[in-house]
Structure 1
């Protein structure tokens, strides 16, 4: 539902490859090559966040070398490590830095791969809308998609999609039909939101999310949960579901990880900067969710630990600090009806 959002005010794979060869600048660039002998044989007792450890000096020197590489040099080095070579120069630099840092830190102290979410559930609702989105217009969810991303295989493992019958404005505007591709006939035949939510919860339970496997929700921005789902639960007279009270806002994660401003975190721009094209039909909830999942996969490959950064509390949107311990969402349960 990117267009509606924009018009409003507002882990890597478990099996690590062999440690990389030291990053090196091309001939003629001085003090760029790092020898493994610089840190071999030094038994440091420093903790992983103690930057007096010699390994961090080595990482810092390598980062400086990477900063001086051209795009072609970056792509060559990434190809050498069998890493993705698509993307703008800043993305390539970040990818190479994180790969090198991760490999060096794993030599020092192996990372516990069991500490991250097993799955990420990507959601991107489609909702009723009118051209210009008048402030008094009440948006109702008309498509509920989920893309299940396996963080161990870094693949989309499964998908869920159901359309929803709106109650307050049952007749879709021509603008909404043209934008989303969802026709009047589709929503007329669909279940109401409480039944669709029950189906969602059953689908998640069958995949043992929150019981056998840890997971987190992920959205493209704040609006899906804080606005669309929040409003829809009030319309349907049900409590806000507990499994959706915390989520990863990938726009925030992308901006913080690649150090780009908010105006460069739209779905299409994120894909472009990562060297990818949009697959499918824009403003299809399921296709949007799949493309968001592709961005999440690339970020995990680049060394980003996607983690919960937003939550709902007492009906209000709040930020979650990155220092909060990583915790998966609870097992999904159907919320109670409001009195």
Structure 2
């Protein structure tokens, strides 16, 4: 009887352990992706990626629940990754480099040494959008004008200051406002603003809507000032917005940085490996191609371009297996 009782007890304990194990296995893993304002490019692209890698679809990472979260952009996302408020986030390559090295915007601040890259996504174009009535044909023409530079904590604000400086201007030379492209576009349409900066993939919804409803000018960012800027800041590259990307706007020379998907070195290697593997499968490819104009530029071949900071080990392992990284 004692032996029989002991057997029953062992069986019962084993059963509880099995059920507990199943319960643990079934608990979802949450993976937040910090993006940007809802009118920009980060937010819709983040939503596409979150849907692609989540387990809700049978081709996602088992047990993973990924969500795209609106934010103030690059700097805010780096801070969220550092603090643990988000597992990952999008950032401009310049901001990521400054954070990791403790230079530029992060000069005098502690280095964010745990910052790692999941993937380079696509080029982010610097847009300088002006009202047709403002008479702005060059960056130099911004002097004395009402110009929105985006919100504090955004990569756009950092780059706008660099561009202004390249042409010998500071915020004291303009009438600065600190607005996201959505509200900035509204003010420009209403005649309360002359121009605004936006860094993001083209076409972006807020600018497309503005071009269709009231017409805009895209101001070129080019000339010897830009050549000097490119020599000093290696994370910038020459870029061109094709004609009719925005209604009524001709081809416009400008510059760009890379959009990157970042995480922390503290995230498990296997989890990041699984996420990257799903990101580049056929189902995700189809979703990216169909979901947003920038989706076609998010490719495995570009994923390791212009890194600037280390890849996450889980991502690095996949890219080596896929043959895009030596």
TM over 0.5: no
User: Normalised by the size of structure 1, how large is the TM-score?
Assistant: 0.23
Structure with the larger helix share: 2
Structure with the larger strand share: 2
User: Normalised by the size of structure 2, how large is the TM-score?
Assistant: 0.23
